[in-house]
A and B are shown apart, each in its own frame.
Chain A
Amino acid sequence: MGLPKFEYLRPKTIQEACSLLSQYGDKARVMAGGTDLLVKMKDRAVTPQYLIGLSGIPNLDYIEADAEGLRIGALATIKSIIDSSVIQERFRLLADAASKMATVQVRNMGTIGGNLCNAAPSADSAPPLICLGAKAKLVGPKGERVIALEEFFTGPGETVLKAGEILTEVQVPNQPAHTGGAYQKISRVAVDLAVVGVAALVTLEGKDGLCSEARITLGAVAPTPIRAKRAEGVLKGKKIEDGLVEEAGRVASEEARPITDVRGSVYYRTEMVRVLTERAIRQALE
């Protein structure tokens, strides 16, 4: 059947892109890598009359570290995130999750901005970034704002983006010393969406190695990625041992609110939250 017809616009600046998006409103969609949008268009789930290609805007795909942390341009491909040495050294959790996304081909084409704005509950980049305390910079015709990623998602496929707004940057703060993270994902086949995704980030402090900070974010088991705050509370302030890890897993699975769909049942997903939370915490400790 192919793609439905549309007019293709190729702005050279973010401002131009925002103004085109405001001008055409509901009739337009922005496109980065196209790996989610074009599939939806082929299915006729969305049929924009205007496609605003963002790939003509230079310097939107940077990965830069500065004194405060990391800034990632929205058009940075998943592949560039995996290959980035600063992400591998200081924000390994993110590279870990990115390497588990989709296929080689999609990782070469897809972008971090696209993954976040597509806002699938199973988006693999979201749980790690939420654990890391990341923020998103949104630019619109009236100016810019910075939102905590934890508050960015409002439902399956839905975000706080207002008309004319484009996500341009992801900001990740530096992490304290002795912080480790991991992303565990289970899927039907290696290249599929997550049936359950769990990101865990733990910080240990002092000579007793007490857990001073724990963040656990669950993907694909609620309408949006969610923090498992009660499970985090199980670990915080304590010395992490086997029994505690198991309890955190149990509590996390109680916080999950999965549905049954073609990829997995409520029962399986709930159980897997428990298992993957345990594995993620253990891997994070390493």
Chain B
Amino acid sequence: MKRLIQLRVNGELYEVAVHPHWTLLEVLREELDLTGAKKGCDAGDCGGCTVILDGKPVFSCLTLAVEADGRDILTIEGLAQNGQLHPIQNAFVEHGAIQCGFCTPGMIMSAKALLDENPNPTEEEVRQAIAGNLCRCTGYVKIVEAILAASQGGG
């Protein structure tokens, strides 16, 4: 039996009927058409599904939709405001931190969560913060540079 849940995603309230075995990732992508979060490994290893739940970055592929009921979710789609990219998004573009783009939404959510908690991270802290986000294209250097630049108000 489906259960009716309420999700506050990017500031908007959604009411969705979900099966208990649906993950938050599946509901975001398939019920809400928010396909920014990616189903990479679907097992909590790649970080492509990273969203911010009640202020903390989590793997949405390992979060049951029913357990996200009533909670606040921020996805990549919620970062740009009035057509303007978020400084972290800008920094990624400016620093060439995006190649295929598949890891990017998850990577940026982890970066945002880091900078919200620690506005002036060291390089080591940036690397630790994105340790749960795999990138097969870039080798991470530009990603780390972009995040450090964003933290310094650049980007």
B-binding residues in A (CB < 8 A): 2-8, 10, 34-35, 38-39, 42, 51, 53, 55, 79, 102-106, 108-109, 190-191
Residues on A with beta carbons closer than 8 Å to the beta carbon of B23: 2-3, 38
Q: In chain A, what residue has the closest Cβ to B59?
A: A105
Kindly provide the distance from the CB of A187 to the nearest chain B CB, expressed in whole angstroms.
Answer: 11
Give the contact stretch, choosing among B60-68, B74-82, B90-98. B60-68
In the complex, A95 Cα to B132 Cα: how many Å? 19
Cβ-defined contact, B43 with A104, below 8 A? no
Total inter-chain residue pairs, C-beta < 8 Å:
78
Residues on A with beta carbons closer than 8 Å to the beta carbon of B63: 34, 109
Q: In chain B, what residue has the closest Cβ to A37?
A: B62
Partner of A108, one of B22, B26, B56, B66: B56
Known: A5-B21, A6-B21, A8-B66. A39 touches B131 (CB 8 A): no
Cβ-defined contact, A79 with B56, below 8 A? yes
Kindly provide the distance from the CB of A98 to the nearest chain B CB, expressed in whole angstroms.
Answer: 13
Residues on B with beta carbons closer than 8 Å to the beta carbon of A4: 21
A-binding residues in B (CB < 8 A): 3, 19-23, 26, 42-44, 47, 50, 53, 56-59, 62-64, 66-67, 110, 113-114, 128-129, 131-132
In the complex, A212 Cα to B154 Cα: how many Å? 54
In the complex, A6 Cα to B58 Cα: how many Å? 22
Cβ-defined contact, B131 with A2, below 8 A? no
Cβ-defined contact, B57 with A2, below 8 A? no
